[in-house]
Amino acid sequence: MSKQPAAKPSKSSKSIRTTALAGITDRKTLRANARKSIEDGAVTPTYSANRTAVIKLLNDALATEWVCVLRYYRHYYMAKGMLADAVKAEFLEHAQQEQAHAALLAERIVQLGGEPDLNPDTLTARAHAEYKEGGNLRDMVRENLIAERIAIDSYREMINFVGDKDTTTKRILEQILAQEEDHADDFADMLEGWIGE
């Protein structure tokens, strides 16, 4: 068995190693940049979004999620009537999911160097959705559908605003938007098949 000589690297692969790729920072610069402003944590010099504006948007979304959590819990406890058990389960599930959304938003606000604004005195004023109690079970479902439709539009607008300038925030908002759309579908289905009061 004869040994084959090792293949020499081609000129093109050698030039890729020595030539910078367009839009990719070289290792030395990446390492130097990482040492600058380390107190900023996850926010590096390449973060190109308006951080103050993003934090404000996230805090408004956080207020919206908490108002929705409170509304869903009220509806869960106040639901009465023949269809109440099935609808109550939906209210409880959505309350828990909205609370998970709030946690994602608060964590991202902190990562960006902001502070989550959970001041109960200003939550409803800053929230996109309203806190509507609903007079009966059907009203509760309808009010929750309206709130979900508001959330869908506001998250879509935030995603468009952030764009590719903050891909982490964009992914979080897209994840929340997908669940808000599911919630709206659930309530639209309930209203469509509603029988009685």
pTM of the model: 0.83
The b-or-e profile of 77-115 (16+ CB within 10 A means b, else e) is: eebeeebeeebbebbbebbebbeebbebbbebbeebebe
- Following CA atoms 137, 64, 180, 167 in sequence, which dihedral angle do they give, to the nearest 10 degrees? 180
pLDDT tens per residue across span 101-124? 999 999 999 999 999 999 999 999
Q: What tokens were used for 87? A: 């609808």
Q: Decide if 197 is inside a domain.
A: no
- What does DSSP assign to residue 117? -
Domain that holds residue 114: 46-192
CA–CA gap between residue 17 and residue 38 (Å, rounded): 29
- What does DSSP assign to residue 40? G
- Report pLDDT for 18: 47
Q: Decide if 147 is inside a domain.
A: yes
Considering its fold, how many domains does the chain have in total? 1
Give the pLDDT band (50/70/90) at residue 44: confident
| Dihedral sign for Cα atoms in the order 134, 137, 143, 144 | positive
Tokens 């079970």, located at residue: 137
Of residues 44 and 168, the one with the higher pLDDT is 168
Coil, strand or helix at 74: helix
- Report pLDDT for 19: 57
Q: What is the CATH number of the domain that holds 93?
A: 1.20.1260.10
pLDDT tens per residue across span 145-161? 999 999 999 999 999 99
